[in-house]
Amino acid sequence: MEDCLFCKIARKEIPAEIVYEDDNIIAIKDIDPQAPIHVLIIPKEHYESILTVSAGNNIISEIHIIANRLAVKFGIVDSGFRLVNNCGENGGQTVDHLHYHLLGGRSLSWPPG
Ligand code: AMP
Ligand code: ZN
Protein backbone atom coordinates (compact mmCIF):
# COMPACT_ATOMS: atom_id res chain seq x y z
CA MET A 1 0.00 0.00 0.00
CA GLU A 2 1.34 3.34 -1.06
CA ASP A 3 0.95 5.34 2.15
CA CYS A 4 1.16 2.63 4.79
CA LEU A 5 3.94 3.10 7.36
CA PHE A 6 4.81 -0.60 7.71
CA CYS A 7 4.67 -1.15 3.92
CA LYS A 8 7.16 1.71 3.61
CA ILE A 9 9.39 0.15 6.28
CA ALA A 10 9.17 -3.23 4.50
CA ARG A 11 10.20 -1.53 1.24
CA LYS A 12 13.07 0.24 3.11
CA GLU A 13 11.65 3.66 2.24
CA ILE A 14 11.59 4.55 5.94
CA PRO A 15 14.52 3.50 8.14
CA ALA A 16 14.02 1.08 10.98
CA GLU A 17 16.23 -1.08 13.16
CA ILE A 18 15.75 -4.43 11.45
CA VAL A 19 16.39 -7.47 13.66
CA TYR A 20 15.12 -10.17 11.30
CA GLU A 21 14.07 -10.42 7.66
CA ASP A 22 13.04 -13.12 5.21
CA ASP A 23 10.95 -13.19 2.02
CA ASN A 24 7.66 -12.74 3.89
CA ILE A 25 8.45 -11.07 7.19
CA ILE A 26 10.39 -8.15 8.61
CA ALA A 27 10.98 -7.65 12.34
CA ILE A 28 12.06 -4.28 13.73
CA LYS A 29 12.67 -2.64 17.08
CA ASP A 30 9.65 -0.61 18.20
CA ILE A 31 10.37 3.12 18.06
CA ASP A 32 8.69 3.62 21.47
CA PRO A 33 9.64 0.50 23.43
CA GLN A 34 7.34 -0.57 26.26
CA ALA A 35 9.78 -3.16 27.61
CA PRO A 36 13.55 -3.76 27.39
CA ILE A 37 12.82 -6.05 24.42
CA HIS A 38 10.07 -4.73 22.17
CA VAL A 39 10.12 -6.03 18.63
CA LEU A 40 7.44 -5.69 15.94
CA ILE A 41 6.97 -8.71 13.68
CA ILE A 42 5.43 -7.54 10.44
CA PRO A 43 4.38 -9.41 7.29
CA LYS A 44 5.75 -7.69 4.18
CA GLU A 45 2.39 -8.11 2.48
CA HIS A 46 -0.23 -5.60 3.57
CA TYR A 47 -3.08 -6.98 5.70
CA GLU A 48 -5.11 -4.40 7.54
CA SER A 49 -5.41 -6.63 10.62
CA ILE A 50 -5.78 -10.29 11.59
CA LEU A 51 -9.38 -9.95 10.37
CA THR A 52 -8.26 -9.86 6.74
CA VAL A 53 -6.03 -12.96 6.85
CA SER A 54 -7.85 -15.83 5.16
CA ALA A 55 -8.09 -19.37 6.46
CA GLY A 56 -5.23 -21.45 5.10
CA ASN A 57 -2.82 -18.52 4.94
CA ASN A 58 0.42 -19.49 6.74
CA ILE A 59 1.47 -15.97 7.67
CA ILE A 60 0.21 -16.10 11.27
CA SER A 61 2.06 -19.34 11.99
CA GLU A 62 5.19 -17.95 10.31
CA ILE A 63 4.98 -14.91 12.60
CA HIS A 64 4.71 -17.16 15.67
CA ILE A 65 7.70 -19.24 14.58
CA ILE A 66 9.78 -16.09 14.04
CA ALA A 67 8.64 -14.80 17.45
CA ASN A 68 10.02 -17.98 19.02
CA ARG A 69 13.34 -17.53 17.21
CA LEU A 70 13.56 -13.88 18.22
CA ALA A 71 12.79 -14.78 21.84
CA VAL A 72 15.84 -17.08 21.71
CA LYS A 73 17.94 -14.41 19.97
CA PHE A 74 17.07 -11.80 22.61
CA GLY A 75 17.50 -14.16 25.57
CA ILE A 76 13.95 -13.94 26.93
CA VAL A 77 12.92 -17.58 26.70
CA ASP A 78 13.67 -18.47 30.31
CA SER A 79 12.33 -15.25 31.83
CA GLY A 80 9.20 -15.29 29.65
CA PHE A 81 7.72 -12.98 27.09
CA ARG A 82 4.45 -11.87 25.54
CA LEU A 83 3.32 -11.93 21.91
CA VAL A 84 0.56 -9.38 21.37
CA ASN A 85 -1.71 -8.44 18.49
CA ASN A 86 -3.77 -5.30 18.92
CA CYS A 87 -6.85 -5.30 16.68
CA GLY A 88 -9.08 -2.32 16.04
CA GLU A 89 -9.62 0.88 17.96
CA ASN A 90 -10.51 -0.58 21.36
CA GLY A 91 -7.75 -3.14 20.95
CA GLY A 92 -5.20 -0.33 20.67
CA GLN A 93 -4.25 -0.82 17.03
CA THR A 94 -2.68 2.42 15.77
CA VAL A 95 -1.04 1.16 12.57
CA ASP A 96 -3.47 -0.53 10.18
CA HIS A 97 -0.98 -3.09 8.89
CA LEU A 98 -0.95 -6.45 10.66
CA HIS A 99 1.83 -6.79 13.23
CA TYR A 100 2.62 -8.59 16.46
CA HIS A 101 4.50 -7.14 19.40
CA LEU A 102 7.14 -9.32 21.07
CA LEU A 103 7.70 -7.95 24.58
CA GLY A 104 10.08 -9.17 27.24
CA GLY A 105 12.91 -8.36 29.59
CA ARG A 106 10.67 -7.28 32.46
CA SER A 107 7.71 -8.64 34.39
CA LEU A 108 4.54 -7.87 32.41
CA SER A 109 1.37 -7.23 34.36
CA TRP A 110 -2.00 -8.79 33.64
CA PRO A 111 -4.59 -7.71 32.68
CA PRO A 112 -3.04 -5.25 30.24
CA GLY A 113 -4.23 -1.64 30.48
P1 AMP B 1 -0.19 -0.81 17.50
O2 AMP B 1 -0.54 0.30 18.44
O3 AMP B 1 -0.45 -2.18 18.03
O4 AMP B 1 -0.80 -0.58 16.13
O5 AMP B 1 1.38 -0.76 17.34
C6 AMP B 1 2.05 0.15 16.52
C7 AMP B 1 3.45 0.23 17.04
O8 AMP B 1 4.26 0.79 16.03
C9 AMP B 1 3.61 1.11 18.29
O10 AMP B 1 4.14 0.33 19.35
C11 AMP B 1 4.57 2.20 17.82
O12 AMP B 1 5.48 2.60 18.83
C13 AMP B 1 5.28 1.53 16.65
N14 AMP B 1 5.82 2.43 15.66
C15 AMP B 1 5.23 3.50 15.10
N16 AMP B 1 6.03 4.06 14.17
C17 AMP B 1 7.17 3.30 14.14
C18 AMP B 1 8.40 3.37 13.40
N19 AMP B 1 8.61 4.32 12.47
N20 AMP B 1 9.35 2.45 13.65
C21 AMP B 1 9.15 1.49 14.58
N22 AMP B 1 8.01 1.37 15.30
C23 AMP B 1 7.04 2.27 15.09
ZN1 ZN C 1 0.93 -1.85 4.85
CATH number at 32 reads 3.30.428.10
Residue 87 lies in a domain: yes
pTM: 0.98
Q: Give the residue whose CA is nearest to atom 15 of ligand 1.
A: 31
Residue 31 lies in a domain: yes
Q: Which atom of ligand 1 is nearest to the CA of 34?
A: 10
Query: Per-residue pLDDT for 84 more than 90?
Result: yes
The 10s digit of each residue's pLDDT in 18-41 is: 999 999 999 999 999 999 999 999
The total of structural domains in the chain comes to 1
Residue 107 lies in a domain: no
Contact in structure between 21 and 27 (CB atoms under 8 Å): yes
Residue 39 lies in a domain: yes
Which stretches does DSSP call E strand in the chain? 18-21, 25-29, 37-43, 81-84, 100-104
Ligand 1 near 30 CB (within 6 A)? yes
> Around Cβ 85, how many Cβ atoms within 10 Å?
16
Q: Mean pLDDT over residues 83-100, rounded?
A: 98
Ligand 1 near 2 CB (within 6 A)? no
Domain of residue 37 covers 5-100
Residue 112 lies in a domain: no
Ligand 1 near 109 CB (within 6 A)? no
Instruction: Classify residue 6 as exposed, middle or buried by CB count within 10 Å of its CB (0-12, 13-18, 19+).
Output: buried
The 10s digit of each residue's pLDDT in 47-81 is: 999 999 999 999 999 999 999 999 999 999 999 99
